[in-house]
Chains A and B, each alone.
Chain A
Amino acid sequence: QSVLTQPPSVSAAPGQKVTISCSGSSSNIGNNYVSWYQQLPGTAPKLLIYENNKRPSGIPDRFSGSKSGTSATLGITGLQTGDEADFYCGTWDSSLSAVVFGGGTKLTVL
């Protein structure tokens, strides 16, 4: 099982908003930055959010990130069918001395 816990799936209608949670502990999310990745089917992951809430160049502001305590959240507004993908959170775990990822959340845009 993953060190970081994500819901297996979320769904929402086009145009709506969805949030994806990522729960960890003080050794990872609680004391380190969180990143979020989008993995479209059959492709490599793409960095969406880094340092909890920053977006790399080219990532639309429909994607947002936040962190509170030992949990982080990815928000996506104005959902499009092209957003359907697996989403992963990731961070450094100071106890394991390793990068850790969540189990992934499959987004379905109904």
Chain B
Amino acid sequence: QVQLVQSGAEVKNPGASVKVSCSTSGYTFTSYVMHWVRQAPGQRLEWMGWINAGNGNTKYAQKFQGRVTIIRDTSASTAYMELSSLRSEDTAVFYCARDSCSGGVCYTGAFDIWGQGTMVTVSS
């Protein structure tokens, strides 16, 4: 079955960077776009950006532009999200989520498969 399995929880100091992985299985990795979503404790979902796993093209939310980098390793069918210059407000669960459309972004906000989430705690 289709699965997204994320890396484990992280604790980081303010100013550091974190890199979260999203390992996929059960489908053709390069046929879909992968999104990343942040959810601070008790807060709403917040879209961070996407990567087209086929051609590597990315798009980032303006709020995270300059701090977030999303890449993929097609040989490992894995996507990665790196967030730099961490601050306490970045303490959150980060999710990878597959776009529901194959072949590109559907611009619908429909994400059909989600990873289990990775808790990132930023604290000195």
Hey, which bits of chain A sit against chain B, CB under 8 A? Answer: 2, 32-35, 37, 44-47, 50-51, 56, 88, 90-92, 96-104
Contacts and interface: CB of A to CB of B under 8 A. Distances in A.
A99 B95 contact: no
B100 A47 contact: yes
A91 B109 contact: yes
Given A32-B108, A101-B46, 15 more contacts: A44-B95, A44-B117, A45-B37, A47-B111, A47-B112, A90-B109, A90-B110, A90-B111, A96-B62, A98-B47, A99-B61, A100-B109, A101-B44, A102-B44, A104-B45
A32 B110 contact: no
Contacts of B109: 32-35, 90-92, 99-101
Interface of B: 35, 37, 44-47, 59, 61-62, 95, 97, 100, 106-112, 114-117
A35 B116 CA distance: 20
Contacts of B110: 33, 35, 47, 50-51, 90
Nearest to A92: B107
Contacts of A100: 47, 109
Interface majority SS (helix, strand, loop, mixed), chain A: strand
Contacts of A47: 100, 110-112
21 contacts: A33-B106, A33-B110, A35-B109, A44-B114, A44-B115, A44-B116, A44-B117, A46-B114, A50-B100, A50-B108, A50-B112, A51-B108, A56-B100, A88-B44, A88-B45, A92-B107, A92-B108, A92-B109, A98-B61, A99-B109, A100-B109
A33 B99 CA distance: 14
B114 to A, nearest CB: 4
B108 A45 contact: no
Contacts of B116: 44
A107 to B, nearest CB: 15
Question: Which A-B residue pairs are the 3 nearest by beta carbons?
Answer: A50-B110, A90-B109, A99-B47
